[in-house]
Amino acid sequence: MRSKTLMSVLVCAACAVPAVGAAGDTPTATTSQEAHAAVFHKRLVQKNQKLARRKAYLHRQHVKRDRVTIVSRWSNTKLVHDIRKLRRQTLGPARIPWIRAKLRRIARCESHNNPRAVNPTGTYRGKYQISFRTWAAAGGHGDPAAAPSWEQDRRAAIIMRRWGIGQWPVCGYR
C-alpha cells in the first residue's frame, strides 16, 4: 500500500516538473516572468538614477546625460551593488541609529543643539562646532553656522565617517 502511494507521488512529481528537451535545453521563461523581470530591472534603474541625482546635487556635480542608457545595460546584480554604494555616499552613516545617537550627544555637548552657535574666538561654528577647514573638507560651502541644521548633521556624519570622533576631542568620547 505504501509503495503504491509513494509511486503515485513520484509519478505526479515527475509530471509536474517541466520537460527538458532532448538536446539539454533549459526551459524558457514565460512571458509573465519576463515582464516581471523587466519591471524589476526598470525599478532598479530608476532607483539608481534617483540616488545618482541626489549624489550629484550634494556634491555640486552634474549627472551625465546618457547615464540612464548606460545603466540600463547593467545586470541586476551590478545595479544593486551600485545602489548600495550610492546610498552610502548620499545618506552616509547618519542612517545608522547608534551614529545618529552619537551625533545628537555631540551636538548637545558642543552647542546645546544650537545650529547658529559660534565659539568666542570664532574658529568653531555651528551645531557641531566645526572649523571652516574641516567644513570645506567634508564638502560644505560657506559658513557652517549659516548652513541649515540638516546639512550640518550630514556634514558631521561625513566627518565622523572619514576622520572618526577624534574631531570632537572632549564631546566625542562622552
pLDDT tens per residue across span 140-172: 999 999 999 888 998 998 888 888 888 899 888
Q: What's the rounded mean pLDDT across residues 7-32?
A: 55
Q: Which residue has the cell 505504501?
A: 2
Q: Would you say residue 28 has pLDDT above 70?
A: no
Cβ count within 10 A of residue 47: 16
In this prediction the pTM is 0.50
Q: Give the span between the Cα atoms of 171 and 82, in whole angstroms.
A: 35
Q: What is the mean pLDDT of the chain?
A: 81
* Residues with Cβ within 8 Å of residue 19, at least 6 apart in sequence: 27
Backbone angles phi, psi at 114, to 5 degrees: -95, 110
Q: What's the rounded mean pLDDT across residues 88-94?
A: 64
Q: What's the rounded mean pLDDT across residues 22-28?
A: 54
CA distances from 162 to 86, 137, 157, 159, 169 (A): 16, 10, 9, 5, 15
C-alpha cell at 117: 552657535
Give the per-residue pLDDT at 109. 94
